[in-house]
């Protein structure tokens, strides 16, 4: 994985749940992308796009809440893939592949978006700084970040660019 260096002008990339799950599933086995109900909307090409984006940023940031959601969703696949996904996630965490930042629930619940978006997204908003970019597939989180003048990328906006490049 990439370690904790900064890329793209020193910016770190905070990764939301579905995107991190796509990375985890695709890293384990590209064929599992189509089989996992939470990421089967994505393609193998999407995984490659994501992997390239991660390489550009270097520092991949996350929160305990995102990691909890990713773990719970990873375990929904069942069979031996479940064990392998959780094992891969544990290995990535132990090697420091992600830079983990904590948004205290008490503080995250104070922001106005908490009631609409929930704790995980409110924590991401609370933590996001001007030198960080958020990568999400969640339109509501994306719009909330944009509304605050924070750097955000909606993964779905990157996909058409990839399609045009393949032509």
Report the C-alpha gap between 17 and 9 in whole angstroms: 24
Residue at 1 is within a domain: no
3 belongs to a structural domain = no
Domain-located, residue 59: yes
- 7 located within any domain: no
CB 60 within 8 A of CB 50: no
As a whole number of angstroms, the distance between CA 82 and CA 35 comes to: 12
Predicted confidence at residue 164, as pLDDT, reads 58
Closest CA to 120 of 17, 23, 36, 33: 17
Query: pTM (2 decimals)?
Result: 0.88
**Res 53 pLDDT > 60:** yes
pLDDT digits (tens, 9 = 90+) for 75-105: 898 888 999 999 999 999 999 999 999 999 9
- Which CATH number characterizes residue 115's domain? 3.40.50.1010
* CA-to-CA separations, 145 to 4, 68, 162, in angstroms, rounded: 23, 22, 24
Q: Find the domain containing 126 and state its range.
A: 12-166
Mutual angle of helices 44-57 and 155-166, in 10-degree steps: 110
d(CA 88, CA 122): 27
- Per the structure, the count of domains in the chain is 1
């Amino acid at each position: 994985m990439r370690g904790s260096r900064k890329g793209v002008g020193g910016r770190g990339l905070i990764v939301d749940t579905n995107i991190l799950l796509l990375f985890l599933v695709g890293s384990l086995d590209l064929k599992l992308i189509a089989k996992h109900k939470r990421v089967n909307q994505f393609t193998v090409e999407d995984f490659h796009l994501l992997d390239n984006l991660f390489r550009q940023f270097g520092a991949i940031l996350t929160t305990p809440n995102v990691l909890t959601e990713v773990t719970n969703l990873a375990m929904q696949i069942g069979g031996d893939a479940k064990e392998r996904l959780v094992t891969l996630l544990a290995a990535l965490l132990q090697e420091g592949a992600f830079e983990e930042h904590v948004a205290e629930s008490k503080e995250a619940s104070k922001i106005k978006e908490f009631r609409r978006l929930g704790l995980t997204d409110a924590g991401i908003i609370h933590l996001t700084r001007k030198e960080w970019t958020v990568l999400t597939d969640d339109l509501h989180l994306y719009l909330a970040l944009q509304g605050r003048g924070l750097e955000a990328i909606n993964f779905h906006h990157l996909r058409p660019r990839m399609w045009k490049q393949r032509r």
